[in-house]
């Protein structure tokens, strides 16, 4: 797929200096630029490459002043880094965009399908499902009964979305994630066996959420498990029943959140964090990797450890813990000196 400088400038709201008709078909680092590629300059450490690169087009910020003649066609924009990121999104969207319904998919006659959608091979779409326009559902995905999927959302191969789940607009759900399976709820009986508690709620995922591969998001016992707008989840994360995650919160891989815990907005949670159930985690909280959280956490806290504590206190305590053998040795020497002094007295 090729684009001219003037077409790219239109997408980026930039201004062309040089040949407006020069065409490119790939993106590159400025130091690796070749004819037919487009690159960018934002970090001035790489400025020397601007004068030697073979890239056909280079994106530069409008406040940049070249020290030498530049052979490449330039596109001047407000911010070169942000513009190139926008171009990456644009190119990726065009590259991956598909439209049409594969013949070996299975779609219930009552399902409501929007315009310009793609449904891949061996996809199942259940009764009364609602699929918004520009949605892409890749091969072997399962879309259950009464599921709603908003405009522009991408469902990758092997995803399972159980009945009644609601997915917002412009979401991305990566391969083998399961949305809406039963929450983990059992009641002990007198004979020691466990009776399953029916899980009759659902999962609501709001707009602009991205969920990594092999995550599990359980349906609520009653009500909804809710993932608010802008949340980003890494791979292999467990979200239990009735959990709520606030907008723009980011969670790294292998974290597990137990039932009914509420996490605030704009939090950052590291990998392999464990959070027990029925807690309230405030807004703008940072939880470092492998922490175990078993108490409520106030807004803007930074916590670490298992059980978790204030991150600064943890680091101070760890210094003592690391030196613990030498501290014990000193105590033993002091006790020995005291005993010897007692005998002399």
Contact 239, 221 (CB under 8 A): no
Tokens representing 9 are 């400038």
* Rounded Cα distance, 202 and 191, in Å: 31
Nearest alpha-carbon partner for 301 in 318, 321, 282: 282
Residue 127 CA to residue 143 CA, distance in Å, equals 9
Contacts of 110 (CB under 8 A, 6+ apart): 127, 128
What is d(CA 121, CA 38) in angstroms, rounded to the nearest whole number?
35
Q: Is 241 a catalytic residue?
A: yes
Please, are residues 220 and 197 in contact by the beta-carbon 8 Å criterion?
no
Of the listed 138, 142, 174, 241, which one is catalytic? 241
| DSSP conformational letter for 107 | E
Token pair of 286, please? 């940072």
Cα 244 to Cα 70, 145, 170, 217, 220: the distances in Å are 53, 23, 20, 11, 10
Question: Which residue's structure tokens are 């400038």?
Answer: 9
Nearest-CA neighbor of 218 among 170, 264, 168, 258?
Answer: 258
Q: Residue 8 class from Cβ within 10 Å (0-12 exposed, 13-18 middle, 19+ buried)?
A: buried
CA 202, 206, 207 angle in degrees (round to 5)?
150
Would you please indicate which residues are annotated as catalytic (active-site) residues?
A: 241
């Amino acid at each position: 797929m090729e684009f001219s400088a003037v077409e790219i400038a239109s997408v980026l709201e930039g201004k062309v200096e040089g040949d407006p008709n020069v065409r490119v078909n790939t993106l590159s680092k400025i130091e690796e630029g070749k004819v037919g590629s487009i690159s960018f300059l934002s970090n001035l450490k790489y400025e020397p490459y601007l004068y030697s690169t073979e890239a056909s087009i280079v994106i530069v910020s409008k406040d940049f002043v070249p020290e030498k003649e530049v052979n490449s066609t330039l596109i001047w924009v407000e911010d070169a880094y942000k513009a190139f990121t926008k171009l990456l999104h644009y190119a990726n969207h065009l590259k991956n965009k598909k439209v049409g319904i594969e013949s070996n998919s299975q779609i219930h006659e009552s399902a409501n399908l929007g315009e310009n959608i793609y449904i891949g091979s061996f996809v199942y779409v259940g009764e009364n499902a609602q699929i918004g326009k520009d949605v892409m559902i890749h091969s072997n995905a399962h879309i259950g009964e009464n599921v709603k999927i908003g405009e522009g959302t991408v469902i990758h191969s092997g995803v399972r979305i159980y009945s009644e789940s609601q997915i917002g607009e412009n979401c991305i759900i990566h391969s083998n994630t399961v949305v809406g399976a039963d929450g983990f709820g059992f009641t002990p009986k007198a004979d020691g066996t466990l009776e399953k508690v029916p899980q009759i709620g659902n999962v609501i995922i709001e707009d602009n959420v991205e969920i990594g591969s092999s995550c599990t998001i359980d349906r609520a016992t009653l009500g909804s498990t809710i993932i608010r707008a802008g949340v980003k989840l890494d791979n292999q994360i467990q979200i239990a029943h009735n959990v709520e995650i606030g907008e723009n919160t980011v969670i790294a891989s292998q974290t597990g959140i137990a039932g009914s815990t509420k996490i605030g907005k704009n939090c950052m949670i590291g990998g392999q964090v464990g959070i027990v159930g029925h807690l309230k985690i405030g807004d703008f909280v940072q939880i470092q990797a492998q922490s175990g959280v078993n108490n409520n956490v106030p807004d803007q806290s930074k916590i670490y450890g298992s059980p978790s504590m204030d991150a600064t206190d943890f680091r101070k305590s760890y210094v003592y813990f690391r030196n613990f053998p030498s501290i014990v040795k000193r105590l033993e020497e002091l006790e020995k000196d005291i005993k010897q002094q007692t005998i002399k007295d």
